[in-house]
Amino acid sequence: MILPLVLAIVAAALSAAAVGILTLWLYPGRELAPAASVFADTNRETAFLFDGEVLVDSTATARALLAASPLKGAAWGSLMGFLSGRFDNLEAQLQRVIADGTIEIPSIGKSKPLILKAEHEGGLTRLTLKDASNDTATSGGSLLAQRAMLDELALLRDTVATAPMLLWRENAAGEVVWANGPYMVQAFAIMDESKELSWPLPRLFNRTAAKSGKDQRQSLTPPGKARLWFDVSSCPEQDGDLMFAIPADVAVKAENALRDFMQTLTKTFAQLPIGLAIFDNQRKLQLFNPALMDLTQLQADFLSLRPSLSAVLDAMRDHKMLPEPKDYHDWRRQIVEIEKGAAAGLYEETWSLPDGQTYRVTGRPHPNGALALLVEDISGEMLRTRRYRADLELGQSVIDHMEEAIAVFSQSGQLVMSNNGYVGLWGDDPAGDLGEPTVKTLSAHWRTQSAPNSLWAEVEDYVATVGDRESWRGEARLLDGRLISCRFSPLAAGSTLALFRLMPPAEAGQARLAEGAGLRRA
């Protein structure tokens, strides 16, 4: 009884399994589809979904467009780099999408028109590019990416064709296999009229720049035209070199002008009797003239080595062309002070050398931290000054030994000199006055020391008179009764000599008799 029951159960299970397999075979089950992107690959639109400036999702054509953008990096920056040249004031217009919800922006320029549709919903911004010709979403796979690449290619071609420089490519054999428009123009200009432009293109410059890998300056001379200068450089490539030739005519003219100017300066400096030494901001000698060698006894080979300021001063000291100090360390400190003072434009000093020569050394700052030292031999000037001073002292000594009181006035009425006799007679030393004594101030003193007399007013007028004058005399009586004889004479350069002499008693008596006779006659 049990065995038939078990067999029946097994047969029923096998039947049920067979029915299930048959059912699955006849009706296949649906596969579970993965979570699809917002923009599936089947979507042919060029659309982007941004959360702020963060790219959330994009279509395949949109990703191709980003890859073709000239700016690499963040998706928002790359997209703006592509669209900004085609849509006017794009980022400012996109600010309106949050308030308006949906906006459409037309493109600008001569290329095929586009429309950028921007939608803002749920905190996300959707950007869709449309072709304005049919106002439908763009299709055709990478149409926009292709257009972007074509636009960029056209832009690059226009840029290379109009670049103000010569561009060309050379293969490994040195043949010119490609060139831009300016290169072709120069090739036509130097080519013989009987020949035609052939391939490979003619070479305008030698290959030294490409071989050396350094910038070189080379020239072209078109027939009947002035020479043209170029700075030639190269950029190595896998199968040749990319060459650049930048016009350098302006630089060559400037360098020639600078060279001529420097030659003029050099000739001028060579004729100066003043020694000139110019040091750079590192205090290295950069320029000197022959007078410096004559004044410092330094040789040209030493100065040509561009020694430092300290080395130049040390060499001058070795040749006894510096004031010999008592303390060498103090002298070194003074050298530093020379540099600091000259850099501030304050240094000027007179050097008395052991051999009797006298130099005036002046330091002046120059642009970019440079320093100029001027060495001038003023021995003759100092000798003339000493002689002039000695002559003045001699003249003063002579008039001091004269018995008469003497005062000399300049044309402007200033007191130039007086002697000891003047001090003894008038009881006043004008040389000790802190002010500048004049004929008016001294005549006021004379009035206080003498009886009333119109003589002093006449003296003031005489000193101030310009032109030919004659000597004249007068008399004045001091308050103590002594009579003085006054004589006023013109000197060179409009100066005036005033001489006062005490009259002896006999002469004073005769003067009194003459005065009485005059009164009786009156």
The architecture of the domain spanning 398-521 is 2-Layer Sandwich (3.30)
Vertex 72: Cα angle to 68 and 73 (nearest 5) = 135
Distance CA 289, CA 269 (A): 6
pLDDT at 503 over 50: yes
Q: What are phi and psi of 208, to 5 degrees?
A: -65, -35
pLDDT tens track for 5-60: 545 554 555 565 555 555 545 544 444 444 445 455 445 678 889 988 888 888 88
Task: Report the run of H or E that residue 417 belongs to, with start and end.
Answer: strand 415-418
First to last CA, the chain: 202
**What does CATH list as the number for 272-377?**
3.30.450.20
Q: Summarize the confidence of residues 142-153 as an average pLDDT.
A: 62
Alpha helices, DSSP H only, in 108-180?
A: 143-162
Q: Do domains 164-251 and 398-521 have the same CATH topology?
A: yes
Give per-residue pLDDT as tens, 294-309: 888 889 889 888 998 8
Token pair of 75 as six digits: 């998706």
Average pLDDT over residues 472-493: 91
Return d(Cα 19, Cα 22) in angstroms, integer: 5
Q: Give me the residue label for tokens 């979904």.
A: 49
Residue 82's nearest CA partner among 49, 127, 126 is: 127
| Domain 46-155, second-level architecture | 2-Layer Sandwich (3.30)
- Asked if 126 and 118 touch (Cβ cutoff 8 Å), the reply is yes
Decide: 407 and 442 in contact? Cβ < 8 Å.
yes
How many percent of the chain have pLDDT more than 90? Answer: 12
Question: Model confidence at 501, in pLDDT bands (50, 70, 90)?
Answer: very high
Structural tokens at position 367? 């642009």
Domain segments of the chain as ranges: 46-155, 164-251, 272-377, 398-521
Model-level pTM? 0.45
Judged by average pLDDT, the poorest of 72-76, 181-185, 374-378 is 72-76
Average per-residue pLDDT for the chain: 78
User: What integer pLDDT is reported at residue 136 of this predicted model?
Assistant: 47
Q: Which of 48-62, 243-257, 499-513 has the lowest mean pLDDT?
A: 499-513
Question: Would you say residue 408 has pLDDT above 90?
Answer: yes
Neighbour tally for 205: CB within 10 Å = 19
Q: What are the backbone angles phi and psi of residue 413, rounded to the nearest 5°?
A: 95, 5
Mean pLDDT of 209-217: 70
Residue 201 predicted with pLDDT over 80: no
| Residue 144 burial (10 A CB sphere; 0-12, 13-18, 19+) | buried
Q: How far apart are alpha carbons 450 and 303 in whole angstroms?
A: 72
Q: Is 9 exposed, middle or buried, given 0-12, 13-18 or 19+ CB atoms closer than 10 A?
A: exposed
Torsion angle of C-alpha atoms 388, 391, 393, 396, degrees rounded to 10: -130
Question: Which is nearest to 82 in space by CA: 3, 5, 4, 155?
Answer: 155
The Cα–Cα gap between 191 and 223 comes to 9
Give the fold, CATH level 3, of 164-251. Answer: Beta-Lactamase (3.30.450)
